[in-house]
Chains A and B, each alone.
Chain A
């Protein structure tokens, strides 16, 4: 353990988890289809940063594509691109970024800008009137590029998970450690009642926490809740239940408070921080980690919160993730009940 852990960390942070963007999906709308635009698009395709989809979309279609998560950036060439360059020495292209994740948006925009500048330099090495291509950048959903919209969903997930998983598991294991769990089992009290009684305070606490975070983020951080508050709260309660079930599961496989805390750390906190897409984009991770991140509840919750809170989407957009979370909640609960019954034999 002491040897494995540092090695895993170095591998993870050195190779797997990175803020660099590779193979980001971008849309290119080429209204010009002239030699300049084709050359520029060629350059973009040649880099490892982008995975270019060439389509002809209207602005609202681009918006829809962003909302569905199909692309993070769009580059739009106007119809007279090369002509403008030739005759006016100046042309502009539109760069539209999905800024609900401001870090990614800025990075991608910078890549585009530097490619454009590169091309500019190529075009006019000796000419006296330099060609200028002006990228007009629009950051959608988060024009001021506030970090808060990115952080709030992540913080929500962390806080809810921390309280529910760790506290629940520690609380149940404490009873086992103290020996009072045995007494409860000998008494007429049904075991299910004991479990529910243990989980309820943390459910209540988490709902209060959730309310506080949402209030703070709307009024103090200016992060609006664009979508339905009811849906947001419902999905959060789903995460809470999943987390409580996970805490329950951990309590059935650990026998001391210390190991319960440790298991919560390893099994929940670390994957949530590193693999949920909160700090490091999932698309950048090696395939192995991407697969593992599928079983981290926070990953799905993060998608849901961003969609509902920042993009104002409804249930139709997040039903898949909701189903997955529900499946996890049911799965964890079933596993814990099974473990619990086995203990009693």
Chain B
């Protein structure tokens, strides 16, 4: 089996009486594309924040990239990338400036930043837009740029929080090409989404309902187990039990 890059054991997060994340235990392997599905309010975002070091778990254990979330959150941060729902780019900076900024934040040397910058702009085909403000880019470009910036430091794992919101299907397809590319390079992808068709693009998928992981398997395996023709049905069968919604 592959190396484990994320491992959790009964990871829990409580806000007062409310249990947002309820004793989840799972493993993610290196180079995997791991989908984290669930309805709004199921606890996906909270779980991801626990793994990223944005929030401290109430109980349980977790290691990310080999580091303990309680004791070594700073080490974790150096080894992960993150792309937020809002695409996390500075709109008043140019494409190049954004790359330079995030490169600097992750401690890349000036030489490395320059090399990465050229590489990124080449791969994304942004030669004409390199010095333009990000706010002038169409949504699909922003999305791709945002992802590329999130992995500019070649982290072990990159966390994507609902990265494909509001983008048309052909752009989404291109975006997923980028993700495959990164996975091939050994970067593990942890992606949350509520677009169920995207679940098919993942190696394995977990479905959260009311804070618990109700299912974890490859898309094909899930379809078989739940006797469904597509992920929509799988989800429907599971989510019917859900008591929480946003």
Residues of A within 8 A of B (CB): 178-180, 182-189, 344-345
Contacts and interface: CB of A to CB of B under 8 A. Distances in A.
A186 B89 CA distance: 14
B91 interface: yes
A186 B80 contact: yes
Interface stretch (B47-55, B120-128, B168-176): B47-55
A185 B55 CA distance: 10
A345 B89 CA distance: 25
A197 to B, nearest CB: 11
Interface string B107-120: 10000000000000
Shortest Cβ-Cβ A-B pairs, 10 listed: A179-B86, A186-B82, A183-B88, A188-B77, A188-B78, A187-B105, A179-B84, A186-B52, A182-B84, A189-B105
SS class, residues of chain A in contact with chain B:
helix
A192 B52 CA distance: 19
A186 B160 CA distance: 12
A179 B85 CA distance: 8
B74 A188 contact: yes
A184 B86 CA distance: 14
Contact of B91 (A178, A187, A188): A178
Which of B55, B80, B105 gathers the greatest number of chain A CB atoms within 10 Å? B105
A188 B106 contact: yes
B107 A344 contact: no
A188 B105 contact: yes
A179 B86 CA distance: 6
Contacts of B77: 186-188
A220 B91 CA distance: 42
A268 B38 CA distance: 45
B195 interface: no
A37 B95 CA distance: 82
Given A179-B84, A179-B85, A185 B90 contact: no
A180 B55 contact: no
Interface string B27-49: 00000000000000000000000
A188 B78 CA distance: 5
Contact of B82 (A183, A189, A344): A183
Interface string B69-106: 00000100110101011111111000000000010011
Contact of A345 (B53, B56, B78, B102): B56
